[in-house]
Chain A
Amino acid sequence: MNGLTELDRRIVLATQGGLPLTARPFDILAEQLDVDADLIRQRMQRMLDRGAIRRIGVVPNHYKLGFRANGMSVWDVDDEKIAHLGERIGGLDFVSHAYHRPRRLPEWPYNLFAMVHGKSRDEVARKVKLIAGILGDAQRQHEVLFSTRVLKKTGLRLLEQTVMTARKSEVA
């Protein structure tokens, strides 16, 4: 499955909740998984190189840090220019995610989605203006959708599910 070995999957399960907060965290993992700490670091390096691990470090909680307003800005951008412009928008430090998604015409003309974080709706609106400036003429129209309520939020711990299913039915 996607080039992940059984050991990789065990490393994911052991670390997706976090690394041990101790001077030698990989020794703790080595003990848990009953393999050499060097091997764990090698496998994690390989997952980093292949993009299975995006990064290793602190994951800030926007909301707790005072960034209470989040707006999903959606943009109708020239298809020829979206790849180049999308990269620029994704690189802004107030944009946490930027995606190219299909339009659903006629109801939905937008093909670029960028999640914008700010301390208030006003701040989000100012940041959306900055994005509009970068997109310039390549952008025909846009909107900002503010979330008004979280209806459901569960973590995406899919691997656990996948591994468990695989164990049950040997499909993976």
Chain B
Amino acid sequence: MDDLDRRIINNLQGGFPLEDRPFRVAAARLDISEERLIERVRAMLADGRLSRFGPLYNVEMMGGSFSLCAMRVPVERFEEVAEQVNSLPQVAHNYERDHPFNMWFVLATESMDGIAEVVAELERSTELPVYEFPKLDEYYVGLRFNV
């Protein structure tokens, strides 16, 4: 990780220009050549320091509904319930967390009704309450992650 990689990560998390030769414009801002920028981005994608390069879409504007949900799963049932939750295709992420609310997952469905159906189905199959934490507001100022 040299200084140039760091500058690319810190300065190119947004604002990639919608132009004919966008890398040339972005590279000029970093005072490097177009080829150099493309090569560095490619290398950081290849070794995983970048997970992606391109537009970051707001999935909620693409249609569909999302909700964060949590459960308090008794320790002795944790693996069994994790399997039940993970088996649903509507479950996008699922994390174990160090807390009485120990299972946190995101549901993604095509409609709000879809979320309610999945929650009801899970409560039935696990016989545990599922707590829904839908987003009321988002404080997003455009992530500038500095390395």
A72 within 8 A of B: yes
Taken together as a complex, chains A and B put the C-alpha atoms of A19 and B90 apart, in Å, by: 27
Taken together as a complex, chains A and B put the C-alpha atoms of A4 and B105 apart, in Å, by: 28
By size class, the interface of chain A is 35 or more
Partner of A58, one of B22, B53, B66, B104: B53
Partner of B61, one of A50, A87, A143, A150: A50
Q: Count how many chain B residues have C-beta atoms less than 8 Å from C-beta atoms of the other chain.
A: 78
Note all chain A residues with C-beta closer than 8 A to B12: 57-58
What 0/1 pattern do residues 1 to 30 of A give for CB contact below 8 A with B? 110100000001001111101111111000
Interface contacts (Cβ under 8 Å), in number, total 245
Contact B139 A86 (CB under 8 A): yes
Point out which of B41, B143, B146 has the most chain A C-beta atoms below 10 A from its C-beta: B143
Contact A151 B96 (CB under 8 A): yes
Interface residues in chain A, defined as those with a beta carbon under 8 Å from any beta carbon in chain B: 1-2, 4, 12, 15-19, 21-27, 37, 41, 44-45, 47-48, 50-62, 64-65, 72, 82-83, 86-87, 89-91, 93, 96-102, 104, 107-108, 113, 117, 143, 145-156, 158-159, 161-162, 165, 172
